[in-house]
Amino acid sequence: MSKVYDVIVVGGGINGSSIAFHLAKRGYKVTVIEQGKIAGKASGAAAGILGAQTELTEDGPLFQLARQSRAMFPDIINELEELSGVQIGYQSRGVYKVASTENHAQKLKTLVHLQTNAGEKAEWLNIEELKRRESAISNTLLGAMYIPEDGQVQAYEFSLAFARAAMTLGAEFYEYTSVHDFLIKDEKVQGVQTSQGDLLSDSVIVAAGAWSSLLLEKTGLTLPVFPVKGECFSVISQKQLVKATIFSDDCYIVPKKSGRLIVGATVKPNTFDEKVSFGGISALMEKAIRLLPDIANAEWVNAWAGIRPISGDGLPFLGEHPNYKQLYIATGHFRNGILLAPVTGKLIADYIDGNRLDIKSFDLSRINSKFTSI
Ligand code: FAD
């Protein structure tokens, strides 16, 4: 006999797990269907930067969403660590967004001005001040925009914590189970067909990352969400090289609590290939040495790749399927899915509760012919 749930979530990445956590907390009977392992795709590959002001610079709905999500961190970290027993490695030491040319320095100074006028904390540091705070940083840099409130987490642990906390609150997770299609009757979703049989539910949420469009083709929807591969590597240094994240336009270095440094990330559009390329990693190595020369003496740990989901207009899709009731979509978070996971789970749970106001800018009504492949 088919199992019956209030909500089925497709995808056990950070967004699916955050949605399950928020729904389970509100008393919904929820299950997550994951074709591989929990956080085995983009969510486990991420560097974990919470770059609300680092990555998103222009004011608008996404900047507001990112700030809303960042503000949720201290409380949600405590709650998840307590419920899950997983240590997330949250750090709020800020980000140095560095400049290596006069032109870039000027742009960052303007950004400092814009963001402080918008009520955010940011300051420009010249190279002397930057080196006073981070002495190992390259002398060739001109300075940095310091963003004190952009922190970081260990992305895999954060994703796992959402999943384990959701389980503690009663959610079920099926790993190594694929969703093949949707059960639909009278223009309303009834459940999903999986590799383990049919599961019934009042609502279904597709949070399948870069694979969401492939699955949603079954419903006749062409969702403009595309894969963008990213590669990273990590090293470990006996000596502490940096205290906070160093972020340049084409490379970042993120110091983890364990003493490991994550260096990322390449950007390779339109591929689901998760192999790590020699060219990608060697280019990152050169860039990292230019930022932090002593990193050349650190010990090699590993390299990996993940597939980010990007939408045609850069905004995530959070909303209901245009043709089928109670079939919802939450994907397209691109480089900010770790940062946006807390607010994504909350807004989708609000949506299921019937409160759709906060999510209007991200709904699916904006799909039209202006979307193209990147
Ligand atoms: P995913 O984590 O990809 O999860 C989707 C899940 O759905 C997968 O586990 C997949 O197996 C499953 N699935 C797919 N199809 C099906 C199906 N048919 N049936 C069942 N299951 C299915 N973001 C930040 O905020 N900060 C960072 O520093 C950062 N760094 C990054 C670095 C790299 C190298 C990469 C690749 C990404 C980075 N990101 C970062 C982006 C972030 O990782 C993503 O935006 C986020 O993980 C997306 O989460 P998700 O849950 O939507 O997708």
Q: Please give the chain's pLDDT, 374 residues, in tens.
A: 467 999 999 999 999 999 999 999 999 999 999 999 999 999 999 999 999 999 988 888 999 999 999 999 999 999 999 999 999 999 999 999 999 999 999 999 999 999 999 899 999 999 999 999 999 999 999 999 999 999 999 999 999 999 999 999 999 999 999 999 999 999 999 999 999 999 999 999 999 999 999 999 999 999 999 999 999 999 999 999 999 999 999 999 999 988 899 999 999 999 999 999 999 999 999 999 999 999 999 999 999 999 999 999 999 999 999 999 999 999 999 999 999 999 999 999 999 999 887 788 899 999 864 554 44
Using the mean position of ligand 1's atoms as its centre, give its distance from the Cα of residue 138 in Å.
32
| Bridge partners (DSSP) listed for residue 234 | 262, 302
Q: Is residue 288 part of a domain?
A: yes
> 2 Cβ partners below 8 Å, 6+ apart?
191, 197, 198, 199, 200
Whose structure tokens read 């989901």?
309
Distances (CA, A) of 334 to 197, 294, 323: 31, 31, 25
> 33 Cβ partners below 8 Å, 6+ apart?
8, 9, 10, 11, 12, 174, 177, 178, 179, 192, 194, 199
* Residue with CA closest to ligand 1 atom 46: 337
| Bond preceding residue 66 cis, omega within 30 of 0 | no
Q: Is residue 20 part of a domain?
A: yes
Q: Is residue 371 part of a domain?
A: no
Using the mean position of ligand 1's atoms as its centre, give its distance from the Cα of residue 286 in Å.
27
Is residue 71 domain-shared with residue 179, that is, in the same domain? yes
* Residue with CA closest to ligand 1 atom 51: 13
Using the mean position of ligand 1's atoms as its centre, give its distance from the Cα of residue 46 in Å.
8
Atom of ligand 1 nearest to the CA of 178: 19
Q: Is residue 357 part of a domain?
A: yes
Atom of ligand 1 nearest to the CA of 40: 9
Which residues lie with the beta carbon below 6 Å from any ligand 1 atom? 10-16, 33-36, 40-43, 45-49, 178-179, 207-211, 215, 230, 232, 264-265, 306, 308-309, 331, 333-339
Domain hosting residue 206, numbered range: 3-84+155-224+312-366
Contact predicate 329/323, CB 8 Å: no
Into how many domains does the chain fold? 2
Atom of ligand 1 nearest to the CA of 265: 34
Is residue 139 domain-shared with residue 237, that is, in the same domain? yes
Length of the chain: 374
